[in-house]
Amino acid sequence: MAISSKDGLPPYFNIDPDTALAELGNPSTTANFAAIANACTQGRQDLASRGLEDGEVRHLRLFSTWEITRYLIPVAAPHFRRVLKANPDLPQGRSESEGGAKWFTLDEVLRLRTHFASEGSKAKEYRPYRPEGLPAKLVSVANFKGGVGKTSTCAHLAMSAALDGYKVLVIDLDSQGSMTSIFGGKVTDEWQTVFPLLARHYAGHLRRENQGRLDRGEPPHPIDDTLMEALDTRASSLIQKTHWPNIDLIGAQLNLYWAEFQIPVWRMQARGWKLWDALVETLEADGVLNDYDLIFIDTPPALGYLTINGLSAADILLVPMGASFLEFDSTGRFFDMLHSTFQSIEEGENMAARALGRDEMAFEWDAVRTVITRYDGTQQAELAGLMQSYLGSALSPHRQEFTALIGQAGEQVNGIYEADYRDFNRETYARGRETFDETYAAFKRLVVGVWRREELALQAEQHPEPVS
């Protein structure tokens, strides 16, 4: 409470100690946390009973002919209408008024795109580039600083990729579950998060190690009930559908944080367990990399074990940061920590590898880029220019602008792609959308380049040049 003094002094002068004491209340104990948690639960129930609950079943908005032909399927609107008319079996959309604009679900847009891809001009890109026979690309968005735009960037990229026609899986590694609530995920405990996959990887390691112990006549490590249960869990049972027809989710929830305590305990029990491989190897073993085009991993604002798993799984690593001194500075420290963390893993592994006469390992990422987020050109141009000059190609060329549309979109709508442009002035919408389309375009250039590199390598492997 601000007590403005009569003599016009700022509010922090002349605070009377006895009054302050009287206002203070008793010291807090652990029990107070329970009381506050309880109050929040009751308030939450009250909100839910008034229909204000977040995470209700979500519905994706419809897409109009204008939006489809401008942003999603590159044909002129009159041509689009003619094709629909000539093919009555195709989705025809619905209009809100007689003769009004036609609106389509995203599922219908995807079917229309398939039609145009098979019947339309071969010169146009109706479907995004995706070489056959190569696995999905994993993209992690990370920075140990919170509030830098990790989740927003990750969610917008997932949505743009889905609109572009890619099949997307989103994995939430943040126990705060922001990404999960954006996609309307329902997660009751850690067993519906990646936790059992990590546990299964560890249990698999123990089993193999026990085989060796038995052969040597040593007692096996016990495999407890949790691990036994994890051994039967497959990624498919954790993947949920979302309100986006081509975005699936492995969600997170507060209990996932438990992994940060459990993983080091497991690692103490089995020093040879490669904990950093747990996520990517189980996803691979379960065929997930063949079921999707792109897998986006949102990470918590910390460099803990979950983030390490997300980072080591990544083919492409994006590190969002604002164009401010503090964020530039802490992002530099983040890279410093990444360096020492992964270097110490490599050193540990390679020491063992050398002793056993095995090949040495080194982590590798297809591309690592920092991305400027929430950019304000009127205030931050100089700093951003400086960051650009120091970071060079390690900084993504597009600066994702600050846009009020993100906060404005409302409770049930997340970000620019879920917003209905009729709720905004069309120009404002177009500008806000443009910056996220550009963020996606810069990202897509990376993915396309990376896939192409692998496609060429695969071809060279299959048809080697004759040795002359």
Ligand X SMILES: Nc1ncnc2c1ncn2[C@@H]1O[C@H](COP(=O)(O)OP(=O)(O)O)[C@@H](O)[C@H]1O
Residue ranges in contact with ligand X by CB under 6 A = 146-152, 178, 301, 373-374, 400, 402-403, 406-407
- Please classify residue 346 by burial: count the beta carbons closer than 10 Å to its beta carbon, then call 0-12 exposed, 13-18 middle and 19+ buried: middle
Cβ distance to Mg ion smaller for residue 172 or 315: 172
Cβ distance to ligand X smaller for residue 143 or 246: 143
Closest CB 411 distance from ligand X, rounded Å: 13
Closest CB 187 distance from ligand X, rounded Å: 18
Cβ distance to ligand X smaller for residue 178 or 262: 178
Cβ distance to ligand X smaller for residue 153 or 242: 153
Evaluated on CA atoms 249, 250, 254, 257, the torsion sign reads negative
Q: Given candidates 65, 140, 151, 233, which one binds Mg ion under the rule CB under 5 A? A: 151
The item of Mg ion, ligand X, none sharing an interface with residue 403, based on CB under 5 to 8 Å by kind, is ligand X
Cβ distance to ligand X smaller for residue 286 or 401: 401
Stated length of the chain: 468
Q: Which stretch binds Mg ion (CB under 5 A): 5-13, 124-132, 145-153, 381-389?
A: 145-153
DSSP 3-state assignment of 94? strand
CA-based angle 378:380:383, to the nearest 5? 145
The item of Mg ion, ligand X, none sharing an interface with residue 120, based on CB under 5 to 8 Å by kind, is none
Closest CB 310 distance from Mg ion, rounded Å: 12
Cβ distance to Mg ion smaller for residue 156 or 167: 156
The residue number with the shortest CB distance to Mg ion is: 151
Which helix (H) or strand (E) covers residue 264, if one does?
A: helix 259-269
Q: Which stretch binds Mg ion (CB under 5 A): 45-53, 100-108, 170-178, 378-386?
A: 170-178
The item of Mg ion, ligand X, none sharing an interface with residue 322, based on CB under 5 to 8 Å by kind, is none
Closest CB 375 distance from ligand X, rounded Å: 8
Closest CB 303 distance from ligand X, rounded Å: 14
DSSP 3-state assignment of 175? coil
Which helix (H) or strand (E) covers residue 441, if one does?
A: helix 426-462
Taking phi over 0 as left and psi of -120 to 50 as alpha, with beta for the rest, 330 belongs to alpha
The item of ligand X, Mg ion, none sharing an interface with residue 402, based on CB under 5 to 8 Å by kind, is ligand X
Closest CB 233 distance from ligand X, rounded Å: 27
For the chain, what is the largest distance between any 2 Cα atoms, rounded to a whole number of angstroms? 95
- Return the bridge partners of 103, or none: 64, 94
| CA atoms within 13 Å, Cβ hemisphere of 319 | 24
From 366, 363, 370, select the one nearest 446 (Cα to Cα).
366
Cβ distance to ligand X smaller for residue 402 or 424: 402
Q: How far apart are the first and last CA of the chain?
A: 85
Do 161 and 170 touch, CB atoms closer than 8 A? no
- Please classify residue 8 by burial: count the beta carbons closer than 10 Å to its beta carbon, then call 0-12 exposed, 13-18 middle and 19+ buried: exposed
Closest CB 39 distance from ligand X, rounded Å: 24
Measured CA to CA in angstroms, residue 456 lies from 291, 409, 444, 463, 464 at distances of: 22, 43, 18, 10, 11
The item of ligand X, Mg ion, none sharing an interface with residue 137, based on CB under 5 to 8 Å by kind, is none
Closest CB 143 distance from ligand X, rounded Å: 6
Give the span between the Cα atoms of 153 and 298, in whole angstroms: 9
| CA atoms within 13 Å, Cβ hemisphere of 15 | 12
- Please classify residue 16 by burial: count the beta carbons closer than 10 Å to its beta carbon, then call 0-12 exposed, 13-18 middle and 19+ buried: exposed
Can you read off the two tokens belonging to residue 434?
């443009």
Cβ distance to ligand X smaller for residue 142 or 235: 142
Taking phi over 0 as left and psi of -120 to 50 as alpha, with beta for the rest, 93 belongs to left
DSSP 69: I
The answer to the question of residue 150 lying near Mg ion (CB under 5 A) is yes
Cβ distance to ligand X smaller for residue 212 or 377: 377
Q: Which stretch binds Mg ion (CB under 5 A): 101-109, 171-179, 361-369, 441-449?
A: 171-179
The item of ligand X, Mg ion, none sharing an interface with residue 200, based on CB under 5 to 8 Å by kind, is none
Cβ distance to ligand X smaller for residue 201 or 374: 374
The item of ligand X, Mg ion, none sharing an interface with residue 198, based on CB under 5 to 8 Å by kind, is none
Q: Which stretch binds Mg ion (CB under 5 A): 116-124, 151-159, 180-188, 207-215?
A: 151-159
Pairing outcome for strands 294-298 and 137-141: parallel
- Per CB under 5 A, contacts with Mg ion among 174-203 are 178
Closest CB 297 distance from ligand X, rounded Å: 12
Closest CB 373 distance from ligand X, rounded Å: 5
Q: Enumerate binding residues for Mg ion (CB under 5 A).
A: 150-151, 178
